[in-house]
Amino acid sequence: AKTTGKNRAVFYREDFNQTLSGKVAMEKELRRALAQNELILYYQPQVDAATEKLTGAEALVRWQKAPGVMVSPAEFIPLAEETGMIVPIGEWVLRTACRKAKQWIDEGASDFHISVNVSPRQFYEANFVDIVASVLEKTGLPPRLLVLEVTEGIAILDEGKTTEKLIQLKQLGVHIAMDDFGTGYSSLAYIKQLQIDILKIAQTFIFEVSSDPDKAPIVKAILAMADSLKLTVIAEGVETEEQFRFLQENGCNWIQGYYFYRPLPTDEMNRVLSKSCVQ
Ligand code: C2E
Ligand code: CA
Ligand code: CA
């Protein structure tokens, strides 16, 4: 029994070491990736549900580890969040996306907005508002065309602080979207209190519109309440015509999903823009 205990202890210690050194190695790799320009942005167009015209795009980070080897953000964002590497990565994403959006606007895509994901760790940095202000100033992007996508995670730490920071951001003129709405605990009343402008209905709800008819009334209710609260609603993960029609008929404002566009590399996004919304 003693031996087993010892072995078990060793096993646990080794496991811990492995995890820890694995994390340290990954952090180092991420730092190097950022410095050597291995991070790139894809852009997923967002479409107006009524007109089917482009209204904006969400910037989604990718790690191009080697030619042809692309690491999904789902694999490295959680660790970047844990190690704090999300702070410099997030700042790079913000700057790069705003610079690109300004270029598209200058090329004729008027009123085209850019959505950027903000992780809780990034949001809680003391100088986050200053960074956003400085990026807007340096890139010349009109603040109203920047949408910061936050998650319910930002409210967990300190509600008062969260509200204060959101107010400071709104004073810059940017818009705030609540990402993955419906998966957590926030009520629409709370969303209104936080002065959120845009609700992104989580992908799981959209999926369930077609797979489980019982879920459709929930999405309908969210859309109706959001409308009465004057919130803009965007549905993400829209993959089928059926889902699109349902959302269109029930007053969803914007649509994002494979039904219209997948996330696109910059050159493809350039092509889509030059064909569609430059008037
Ligand atoms: P998210 O913010 O919820 O982004 C939407 C995800 O859904 C993206 O995955 C997108 O490619 C995918 N998607 C879009 N349309 C469809 C569809 O019709 N069907 C399906 N099945 N999926 C669709 P992606 O690019 O792998 O990003 C995953 C997550 O990583 C994002 O989820 C976001 O939480 C995080 N992430 C991505 N880029 C950044 C970033 O720059 N900063 C931070 N903090 N997080 C990021
Ligand atoms: Ca998002
Ligand atoms: Ca989302």
Helices then strands, counting H and E runs in the chain, come out as 12, 10
Of 59 and 79, the structure prediction assigns the larger pLDDT to 59
Tell me how far CA of residue 246 lies from CA of 57, 135, 207, 229, in angstroms.
Answer: 22, 38, 12, 21
Q: What is the whole-number distance in angstroms between the Cα of residue 97 and the centre of ligand 2?
A: 14
Task: Please name the residue whose Cα sits nearest to atom 23 of ligand 1.
Answer: 237
Number of the ligand 1 atom closest to the C-alpha atom of 149? 2
pLDDT value of position 18:
52
For residues 226 and 233, what is the distance between their CA atoms, to the nearest angstrom? 7
Highest mean pLDDT pick, 71-80, 210-219, 248-257: 248-257
Ligand 1: centre distance to CA 59 (Å): 9
DSSP state, residue 253 = -
Ligand 1, atom 15, residue with closest C-alpha: 257
Residue-wise pLDDT tens digits, 153-186: 887 667 788 999 999 999 999 999 999 998 877 7
Distance CA 76, CA 60 (A): 13
DSSP state of 165: H
Ligand 3 centre to CA of 170 (Å) is 21
What ipTM did this prediction achieve?
0.98
How many Å apart are CA 81 and CA 84, to the nearest integer? 5
Ligand 1 neighbours, Cβ below 6 Å, are 44, 60-61, 72-74, 77, 86, 90, 93, 117, 119, 179-180, 236-239, 257-258, 263
Q: What confidence score (pLDDT) does residue 157 get?
A: 66
CA–centroid distance, 270 to ligand 2, in Å, is 21
Q: What is the pLDDT of residues 5-41, one digit of tens each?
A: 444 434 444 344 457 788 888 889 999 999 999 999 9
Which one has a higher pLDDT value, 226 or 158?
A: 226
Rounded to two decimals, the pTM is 0.92
